[in-house]
Amino acid sequence: MTQRKISESTVRRLSLYLRLLREARPSGKRVLSSRELAERTGTTSAQVRKDLSFFGSFGKRGRGYDVDELERTLARILGLQRRWPVALIGVGKIGSALLGYGDLERRGFDIVAAFDIDEAKVGRHASGVTVWPLDELENVVRSQDVTIGIIATPPEAAEKTARRLADTGVSAILNFAPVKLSTPDTVTVRTMDVALELEGLSFALTSERGNGVS
Amino acid sequence: MTQRKISESTVRRLSLYLRLLREARPSGKRVLSSRELAERTGTTSAQVRKDLSFFGSFGKRGRGYDVDELERTLARILGLQRRWPVALIGVGKIGSALLGYGDLERRGFDIVAAFDIDEAKVGRHASGVTVWPLDELENVVRSQDVTIGIIATPPEAAEKTARRLADTGVSAILNFAPVKLSTPDTVTVRTMDVALELEGLSFALTSERGNGVS
DNA sequence: TGTTGCTTGTGAAGCCTTTCACAAGCCTAC
DNA sequence: GTAGGCTTGTGAAAGGCTTCACAAGCAACA
């Protein structure tokens, strides 16, 4: 789609800009400068302009960026002009929280199916999503055209689950299990590990220094 | 404690090394080389050695790193030779999931108090932690010597909650609300945003390219 | 139309992180 | 005890990301 090698940090910031633009819209602001975007996302104006410049020129000199237009542009760049069907594997504590977490739907991601190995959890979940037995993973994922999977299983099961997802054609995985997944490199994996983040905070507190990082 | 300017990515990797060492112990391995550490955490052996070299020399040439010793060393570097009392603000979906999530306790973080503005949630939580009314935040945090707070409130309440925590002497915040927190720079903030991570995956899928990132 | 003020887009510089490559050093086995 | 094989620790090189700094351009207004 676009040129290669956009860094992960750039993509992260693009998401932040998009989030900000969506929040800004109701306020009636029609235009935002790179400086304003920067201040409200915790970066610098040069960084904002550089990030956007990888994809084109979207601003007007002397004015800034049109809020609506930049919102559409960023959504397109990030692949969010569409909705993504997502499969959730593991309906324990974290899985259940995700099922009920409206922010995902609001931002374009629909959990269309959930899976659990525990028969007791199979059926209709409180949040309205159907929980399938794990055996059905391949069938349901294929029939629903799922390309993004969320792993919220116990750590022991994560690796195997990842392999099954990969084999079924899923090419992006958000992993909540505190393990490194070994997947073919046709699959993009992001791991979220709460304890790991807390450990980062522990380090910051221990090495005693108040440099706030967002 | 140690020399300055350790990058966030280094700290992240140190956590991964530590996690791996703890997993490796039961297997009976007494020694691990930087190559083995690297392979199992998704980096390179040179990176492992460089990361460790910021803090000292812990290996034995020709052999590798003693598992027990390096585990202790990393725990000390990360400030994990102690336990951290943590306060949780917001006992909704995410907050409840965290309360029941044993991995935190296992890795040295004790949620010693939870808070919610909703009277109905106040009392003893299923997971055994006391849920306090929000008004009690300052009292309880101070009396329990909490220095790490987890914000799991709705986004609108996050900023104010962060300020209250900061004013009460909390100097590290793990933020689950999808907003940028503005805190004095005596406070270190890390934000975890599920939708943001999914957007990163969306970008990867959209810009069509299979470069697996862990 | 000309002037003033402001903001973008971008090469270049600066800084930081990762990778390279190799001397130094440990261990085993003969 | 010494030869061979392996691994660490680390300067130096390479690579990547961020910041700088400024020409180009838009808008408002006289």
Task: Give the pTM.
Answer: 0.94
**Residue B209: band (very low, low, confident or very high) from pLDDT cuts 50, 70, 90:** very low
DSSP of A122-162: -EE-TTSPEEEEGGGHHHHHHHTT--EEEE-S-HHHHHHHH
Q: Which nucleotides of D are covered by protein (CB under 7 A)?
A: 5-11, 16-21, 24-27
Are B90 and B149 a contacting pair, CB within 8 Å? Answer: no
Nearest to B195 among A107, A190, A206 (CB): A107
In tens, the pLDDT along A75-114 reads 999 999 999 999 999 999 999 999 999 999 999 999 999 9
Q: Does A211 touch chain B (CB under 8 A)?
A: yes
Q: Would the pLDDT of A70 be above 70?
A: yes
Say yes or no for a CB contact (<8 Å) between B213 and A188: yes
Distance from CA of A213 to the nearest CA of B (A): 6
What is the arithmetic mean of pLDDT over A40-65? 97
Percent of chain A scored above 70 by pLDDT? 95
Say yes or no for a CB contact (<8 Å) between A209 and B14: no
Q: Would the pLDDT of B213 be above 50?
A: no
**Residue B27: band (very low, low, confident or very high) from pLDDT cuts 50, 70, 90:** confident
Per-residue confidence (pLDDT) for residue A3, from 0 to 100 = 52
d(CA B14, CA B122): 38
The nucleotide whose C1' lies nearest the CA of B33 is D7
Q: Does B196 touch chain A (CB under 8 A)?
A: yes
Are B78 and B2 a contacting pair, CB within 8 Å? Answer: no
